Chain A
Amino acid sequence: MLNPLRNPDRRLSPAAVFLVGVLLLLLAASPGMAEYADVILNQHAEQEGVRPVIYPHWFHRIRFRCKVCHHELGFKMKAGGNEISMAAILDGKFCGMCHNEEIAWGLEHCHRCHSGLPGLKTGIRGDNKAGGPGEY
């Protein structure tokens, strides 16, 4: 039986090089990483039959300084630390302070916020080097 991965003269066969290359490419391409500082909000969402919420810091900080949300609008700097509920949002609190068709699009676009995979836990996400405070 001939081993396809090795030539009798002990040089690497082109097929073997090719196979290893393809495998490396496969490894490099998968799987992706959550963007640094994305916050997942899933204290009630999934329980109540909607997808978990993904709040992207990187997107909002292009448009607003931290002080707008964390001082003026009063968001506490703690993932899961604000009692955010859909009722409060519809009442014009939390995300609803901006997502009101004036500062940003309105609340009828449920799926733009409720966009997460099932089973996600409330918390902040980062890249491999920073999974949140402490896990630098």
Chain B
Amino acid sequence: MKPLFLALLWLIGGLLFLHRGVAVAAEDVFVNDGLHDPQGPSFHELQRPTEALAGFPPDTVGNKVRWVNALRDGLINPRTNIVPETKIQVLDMDIIFGNTGDNAFVRFPHRAHTEWLDCANCHPDPFKEKFNTSGIKMSAILEGKFCGKCHGAVAFPLTECARCHSIKPDSFRGQLGAQSVKKP
């Protein structure tokens, strides 16, 4: 009985010690992220996402930030250009897609996109500037084409079906395609 008790105490002590080490490491997301080299001379100079992104509207996926809301609510104001002459365009026009099988229709908001992106990031490749002419398919999106070029790489991932498939067909009264342009 006694040696067993001692062995158990020893084991628990060892595990506690190990756990302390892991807990300290867990506080720093760059330790053990399979990416950063803790031996790197600037390892401690880099900002951690846990610190930089705290206080932004939370999300459950991606960077765990609702980037559209962070921008809209003025929590961030990223630069739009470096050269003063660069033309900045924002377009407030929704496109509603209807070839969605049993799923809800897709609402594509130009506004939320052109706040971040330039027209040339999407036109003419991968999207033609005319509704229903680009041959968008969910299978291709999942392969990283069309919307999947950004969604699943930098913008929120493709697991969030309902964020794109957001219009219930039975309650939709308008026309599919480009909706009227809203002027600011």
Binding site for B on A (CB under 8 A): 2, 4, 15, 18-19, 22-23, 25-26, 29-38, 40, 51, 54, 56-59, 61-68, 70-73, 77, 97-98, 103, 109, 111-112, 114-118, 120, 124-127, 129-130, 132-136
Contact = CB atoms under 8 A, between A and B. Distances in A.
B152 A132 contact: yes
A58 B49 contact: yes
Interface of B: 1, 4, 8, 11-12, 15-16, 18-19, 22-23, 25-26, 29-37, 40-43, 45-47, 49, 52-53, 61-63, 65, 67, 76, 78-83, 86, 88, 115-118, 120-121, 142-145, 148-150, 152-154, 157-159
Given A32-B32, A116-B35, A130 B153 contact: yes
B12 A19 contact: yes
Given A29-B23, A111-B42, A134-B144, A34 B33 contact: yes
Contact of A22 (B16, B43, B143): B16
A71 B12 contact: no
11 contacts: A19-B12, A25-B19, A32-B31, A36-B63, A38-B35, A58-B65, A61-B154, A65-B116, A72-B82, A77-B149, A133-B153
